[in-house]
Amino acid sequence: MYSWGLRFDALTIILTGAVTVAAVVGQQYPAYAKTAQEIAQLAILTTVEVNNTLGFSASGSGVIIAKQGNIYTVLTTNHVVASLAQEYSIRTHLEKNYRAIRIQRLPKNDRDIDLALVQFQSREQYPVAPMGESERAVVGSSIYVAGYPLPIAFGSERKLEFTGGIVSSRLDRTSSGYGLRYQAVTRRGMSGGPVFDADGSVVGIHGQGDTVGTVKSQWNGQMEEIKTGLNSAI
C-alpha cells in the first residue's frame, strides 16, 4: 500500500491512514504560472465523467489523480457516488467507458468530508493531474473549474466545460469540508470536477453552487436551479 501524496488541506485528515488505496500519485511538477490554454488542455486530459449507469440524473465529474499499473484512481465528491445500490462508470476524454471496479467512500470523521475515490482499469495511457496546496488559493487569485455538465437536451452527450473564476473567500470549518469559495460559471453535473490554480495544480474539488430558486427549462420542461455564480470546493 502507498500513502496518498495529495497536498490540499481538506484531504489531510483522510490521507494520513484513513484511506489507503493501492495507487501511486502522479509526479509533482514544478509550479509555474501557465496560460489558460495550457491548463485547459490538462483539464481535458484528466477530467472524467462519473456516470450512474441508470442515467445521467445523478451523475457527476471527477479527476484522475493516481495510477498503478493499469489501475487508475479518480477523485470525486461522495454525493456523486452515494448510492450503494447502483453501479457507476468512468468516461474519459477519449470517449471510452470503464466500469468502476472499486469505490472508496471516505469514512465519517469530525469534518465529514464529501469526497470519494473511484478506480477503473485501462491499458490506455492517461495523464494524472498534479496536486497543489489549497492554501495558495488566496482571496483574489485565479482558479479554473472543469467538469461535465448534465446534457440540457434529451439524448445529447455530456461535453466538458472549462471556466475561469476568482477565489472570493476562505472558510475555516464548514460542513463536509467546503472551505474554498469562488466565483465561476458552473452547472449541474460538474460536481466532483477539479479546481485548478494558475499553476495548473488541483487545489480543490468542486461540489456546491449557490442557488436562488428554480426555473422551468425550455429544453426539457424540467425544473432547473438558478445559480448565483458563487461556488464551494473541498
Asked if residue 29 belongs to a domain, the reply is yes
Q: How high is the pLDDT of residue 103?
A: 94
Q: Are 156 and 198 within one domain?
A: yes
Q: Are 21 and 113 within one domain?
A: yes
Q: Are 138 and 117 within one domain?
A: no
Name the residue among 6, 4, 7, 11 with its Cα closest to residue 234. Answer: 11
Asked if residue 158 belongs to a domain, the reply is yes
CA separation for the pair 136, 227 (Å, rounded): 26
Asked if residue 160 belongs to a domain, the reply is yes
Q: How high is the pLDDT of residue 197?
A: 97
Residues 47-64: what's their mean pLDDT?
Answer: 88
CA separation for the pair 91, 120 (Å, rounded): 10
Q: Are 23 and 115 within one domain?
A: yes
Q: Are 38 and 90 within one domain?
A: yes
Model confidence over 105-127: pLDDT tens digits?
876 655 678 999 999 999 999 99
Domain final position from 97, 121, 145: 121
More confident residue, 168 or 24: 168
Q: How high is the pLDDT of residue 182?
A: 95
Asked if residue 2 belongs to a domain, the reply is no
Domain final position from 121, 147, 180: 121
Residues 208-230: what's their mean pLDDT?
Answer: 66
Q: Are 183 and 81 within one domain?
A: no
CATH of the domain at 219: 2.40.10.10
Q: Are 74 and 157 within one domain?
A: no
Q: Are 113 and 150 within one domain?
A: no
Which range in 25-39, 69-83, 169-183, 204-218 is most confidently predicted, on average pLDDT? 69-83
- Partners of 50 in the beta sheet? 60, 90
Asked if residue 97 belongs to a domain, the reply is yes
Residues 153-176: what's their mean pLDDT?
Answer: 84
Asked if residue 3 belongs to a domain, the reply is no
Q: Is residue 134 within 8 Å of 203, Cβ to Cβ?
A: yes
Model confidence over 64-95: pLDDT tens digits?
999 999 999 999 999 999 887 789 999 999 99
Q: How confident is the model at residue 53 (pLDDT cuts 50, 70, 90)?
A: confident
Which domain does 178 fall in, by range? 134-233
Q: Are 110 and 153 within one domain?
A: no
Q: Are 116 and 22 within one domain?
A: yes
Domain final position from 94, 121, 148: 121
- The contacts found for 24-28 with CB under 8 angstroms, 24 or more apart, are 24/66, 24/67, 24/68, 25/65, 25/66, 25/128, 25/131, 26/65, 26/66, 26/67, 26/127, 26/128, 26/129, 26/130, 26/131, 27/128, 27/130, 28/130, 28/131
Q: How high is the pLDDT of residue 170?
A: 92
Q: Are 147 and 106 within one domain?
A: no
Model confidence over 8-19: pLDDT tens digits?
444 544 443 334
Asked if residue 1 belongs to a domain, the reply is no
Q: Is residue 134 within 8 Å of 8, Cβ to Cβ?
A: yes
Counted domains in the chain: 2
Q: How confident is the model at residue 141 (pLDDT cuts 50, 70, 90)?
A: very high
Asked if residue 221 belongs to a domain, the reply is yes
